[in-house]
A = this chain, B = another copy of it.
Amino acid sequence: MNCATGACPVPDEPKGVIKLADGAGGREMHELIKEIGARLRTSGWQGSDDDAASFCVKEGRVFFTTDSYVVTPLFFPGGNIGKLAFCGTVNDLAVKGALPIGLSLSLVIEEGLPKDEFFKIIQTIGELSKKHKIPIVTGDTKVMDKGAVDKLVICTSGVGTGELIDSKVEEGDVIVVSGGIGEHGAALLAKRFELETELETDSKVMLEEVAAIQAYARHIKDITRGGLASVLCEIAEKKGVMLEVEEEAIPAKKEVKALCGMLGIDFMNLACEGRLVAICKPDFDISALKKLNPAAAIIGKVSKGSGVVVQTRLGKKMLHMPSGNIVPRIC
C-alpha cells in the first residue's frame, strides 16, 4: 500500500502464505480469524466472534439462503470472488423481498495461498459489508493441503427479514430485465482467453433495483449460471405460464454479443451476477429502474400456455433450458 498520501485506512497487507496450521483449531487459526474480523463489519449481532451469532427479530418472515463460489480466476475485471460471494448472497435475499440482516462467511483455503491475495478478497467483502451496512456475523475457516482445493472456495449464507414477493403471475404481466445481460460471463471468458476487452463483471448488490420495482413485482429472480435462458425457462415452468420474449428488446452490450458470436455461445446462456428478471403488473413504470441502469428494459409479456417463446427477426423459436457445460467455474 502506498502511504505517500498519508491515508492508511486498512491494516498492513499481511505477508507470507496460508499454512495448514491456520485452519487447525489452535492458536494460529484464532489469530487468522482475528485478522479476518479486523477487515469486516461484524457488529450488530450477539456472539459474532463465536460459532453461532444471534439477533432479536420482530414477529415476521425470516429468509435464509446459501451459495458457494468456485470462480476461476479469483480476480477478474471489475471484481473478485469476494465481491461475487457478498453480492450473490445479498441478491438471493433481495429478489425474494428480504432485507439482509446478516451474512455468514465460510472460507476453504488452499495451503500456500498468498496472504496478500487472500486479504484483498476479505477486504473487498469488508468494504461491501460496510457500504451496504450488512454485517458478517458468523464464519468458518478451513485450510486444505496443497492440491486438495484450487486456491479458495467461499460459501456465504444470508439471513434477512421482510415481506415475500411471490404471487400468481397473470396473463398480460410484463417481463423486465434490470440491465445488459451476460457481462459477468463475457468478462470471465475474455480474461480466460486473454482477450483485451472493456468488459467487466456486472456483479453488484441489487437492493436498489428491487426497491425500484417492488410495488409492481409478482416474482423476481436474479440471473446467475445458465443465464437469462435458464431463469426464463424456470419461471415459465414454476408459474405454469408462457413467456413471450422479443429478442431485440433484450439488452446486451455489443462486446458481449461479439464475444458470443466469436465463441459460438448464445448470449442468453451467459451468467450475470448483478442482473434480475422480474414479472411485473401490466402497469409497470420502468422509469425508476432506468435511472439505476439505462439499459433496463421490458423484454416481453406473460401469456397463457407453457414454455418460453422468443420472437427473432427470422420468426418465433422455443427457448429450452440450456444443457451441457456452458461455462465452467463462472461463479
Contact = CB atoms under 8 A, between A and B. Distances in A.
Given A46-B164, A98-B52, A144-B150, A323 B66 contact: no
A321 B31 CA distance: 11
Nearest to A164: B54
Contact of A98 (B54, B56, B60): B54
Interface in A1-35: 19-21, 23-30
Contacts of A224: 25
Interface string A38-74: 0000000111001111111111111111111110100
A145 interface: yes
Contacts of A19: 325
Interface residues of A, number: 87
Given A54-B61, A57-B59, A66 B155 contact: yes
B26 A328 contact: no
A106 B107 CA distance: 13
A68 B140 contact: yes
A138 B54 contact: no
A331 to B, nearest CB: 8
Contacts of A124: none
Nearest to A222: B51
A55 to B, nearest CB: 5
A326 interface: yes
Contact of A226 (B26, B143, B329): B26
A21 B323 contact: yes
Contacts of A226: 24-26, 29
Contacts of A51: 65, 67, 92, 95-96, 221-222
Contacts of A232: none
A133 interface: no
A215 interface: no
A324 interface: yes
A271 B142 CA distance: 14
Contacts of A277: none
Contact of A64 (B28, B52, B107): B52
Contacts of A227: 25
Nearest to A320: B27
Contact of A321 (B26, B45, B140, B327): B26
A314 to B, nearest CB: 24
A20 B324 CA distance: 8
A19 B325 CA distance: 9
Given A24-B226, A25-B224, A149-B148, A64 B140 contact: no
A64 B225 contact: no
Given A25-B227, A27-B323, A54-B61, 13 more contacts: A23-B225, A25-B326, A26-B226, A26-B269, A26-B321, A27-B322, A51-B67, A51-B221, A54-B64, A57-B57, A66-B157, A140-B155, A148-B329
